[in-house]
Structure 1
Amino acid sequence: MTLTRIALSLFFFSVLLISCKESPAKKTTNITETRVEPDTLSKPDALPTPEVEEEEPFKLTEENAIDFFFNYSKTLKEDKVKLTTSFGSIVIQLFDNVPYHKANFIYLTEQGYFNNTYFHRVVKNFIIQGGNADNLETAKKRGQIGRYLLPPDAKKGHKHHRGIVSMPSSEVNNPHKLASPYEFFIVVTKPGSYHLDGSYTPFGKVIEGMDVVDKINQQPVDNGDWPSKNIYILKAEVIK
């Protein structure tokens, strides 16, 4: 073998080695995303919220009214209520020996029932009657307080003298003349309207503001004894 052939052989062998050598692999970097979870160990395990049953609001009914007012009357120390009307103020002193009717009147006063009601019936030289109104507010208050009647208590020695505050009877299916608890009337007649004795329950008397009662009684009315203009009981409050 000549030197030339030997040289050529070595050249081709070198080329073969170079071509067979692996190219370096391309370096890649795999980035793993790390998700940060809330640190549950730093807080106590959340306790389930206990279910609280909402109590239904208390309402007076035929079944519970007597017991309620019997117990309520034992808590009362006050016996006077002030009515602020659109014609002035009237102060009423309540009788202790008619506890259900006294308690009823104070309870309704404390509930704000009489506020923005009317003296809705005015009979000349006889009575003025209050505690009702033809508005949604009054109807809503009655619905919230409850539906009930009170038994008459007309044998406690109180007569329907002028200035006496008494409770009318309900006119609906009421052969026993049970008292309509949301309304009251004040006697204007001099010296009184004694034909009412025994049928209705006197539970208080006007001690201030009889001149206001007379002024209300003088207001013009329509054929149904409803005043031509509303006569408001703006506010009723228990005198402490």
Structure 2
Amino acid sequence: MTRRLTFFFAFIILLTASCEDTQKSKINNTKASTNKTSIKIKDTTDSNNINTAKPKKDKLYLHDEPMIVQEKLIPFLTEYGKKNHENKFRISTSFGDIEVLLYNDTPLHRANMILLIKKGYFNGTFFHRVANGFVIQGGNSDNRETSTKRNNMGSYLIPSEFEAGHRHTRGAFSAAKYAEQNISKASSPFEFFIVQSDRGAHHLDNDHTVYGKVTKGMDVVDEIAKQPIGEGEWPLINIPITVEIIE
């Protein structure tokens, strides 16, 4: 009887340990799928570090508040846009520079982009998706620093600004968005893409907000688009970027 009980408890312990290991492996091996005809947000954060960053006062905080909240987003960006009139910036990469003009008739997206540039958010992020003949996508990375910056900035979405009427022609600078539970087609504040196709990407019109255009460096965009990719259209070499405002 004692031998049977010992065997029973040993079996229960082994079964419990096996379930725990299986669950961990599922978390660590999960990868976001992508669709070449859409611009989805790719989950590049470390699953073991999500929401673990402790808030602390640094250059990414806005005024005296630690985060941007959705309820105050429109008045905040509207006021920020009135005080910050810049609308040109440069993306620097190892392949060369890309210069972008932001449209004034998409004021929320313009203000948010200028805000993030001034706060240094994009420095150290990557062109993390390359789809030759379609788009290149940037503004994210698998570095812990990027997820910490996002946590510090806050969790919010930018309302679409389709009424401006800008289309996804070659060189269009547009906002990526979350596909799930996003009926309003609101934009990600952190990720953008540049249309590389000569034909444009007009199936994305009125689905993503175009809020700027490349004015210089489409040859650089084409070169980045040619880079070899792995699973999920992630380039096999890192393509880090730095972004600065220009006159």
What TM bracket, shorter-length normalisation? Answer: 0.7 to 0.9
2:139 equivalent in structure 1: 131
2:77 equivalent in structure 1: 69
Residues 1:58 and 2:66 are matched in the alignment: yes
Q: Within 1, Cα distance between the matches of 2:203 and 2:186?
A: 18
1:156 equivalent in structure 2: 164
Bigger radius of gyration among the two: 1
Given the two structures, how large is their TM-score scaled by the length of structure 1? Answer: 0.74
Structure 2's unaligned 5+ residue stretches are 1-56, 58-62
Q: Within 2, Cα distance between the matches of 1:198 and 1:177?
A: 9
2:214 equivalent in structure 1: 206
One-letter identity of the residue aligned with 1:157: G
2:41 equivalent in structure 1: none
Residues 1:197 and 2:211 are matched in the alignment: no
- Could you give the per-residue CA deviations for residues 132-191 of structure 1, whole angstroms, max 9, x where no partner exists? 001111011111111100111112121111000000111343222211110000000113
Q: Within 1, Cα distance between the matches of 2:184 and 2:160?
A: 8
One-letter identity of the residue aligned with 1:177: K
Q: Within 2, Cα distance between the matches of 1:73 and 1:57?
A: 18
- Could you give the per-residue CA deviations for residues 62-84 of structure 1, whole angstroms, max 9, x where no partner exists? 11111110111111222101111
Higher helix share: 2
Residues 1:239 and 2:239 are matched in the alignment: no
1:1-240 matches, within 5 Å, as 57-233=65-241, 235-240=242-247
| C-alpha RMSD of the superposition | 1.5
Cα offset, 1:56, TM superposition = 5.4
Q: Within 2, Cα distance between the matches of 1:87 and 1:219?
A: 11
SS at match of 1:138: helix
Single out whichever of 172-181 and 158-167 deviates more from structure 2: 172-181
Cα offset, 1:122, TM superposition = 0.8
Q: Within 2, Cα distance between the matches of 1:203 and 1:175?
A: 20
Which ranges of 4 or more aligned residues in structure 1 deviate by more than 3 Å? Answer: 54-58
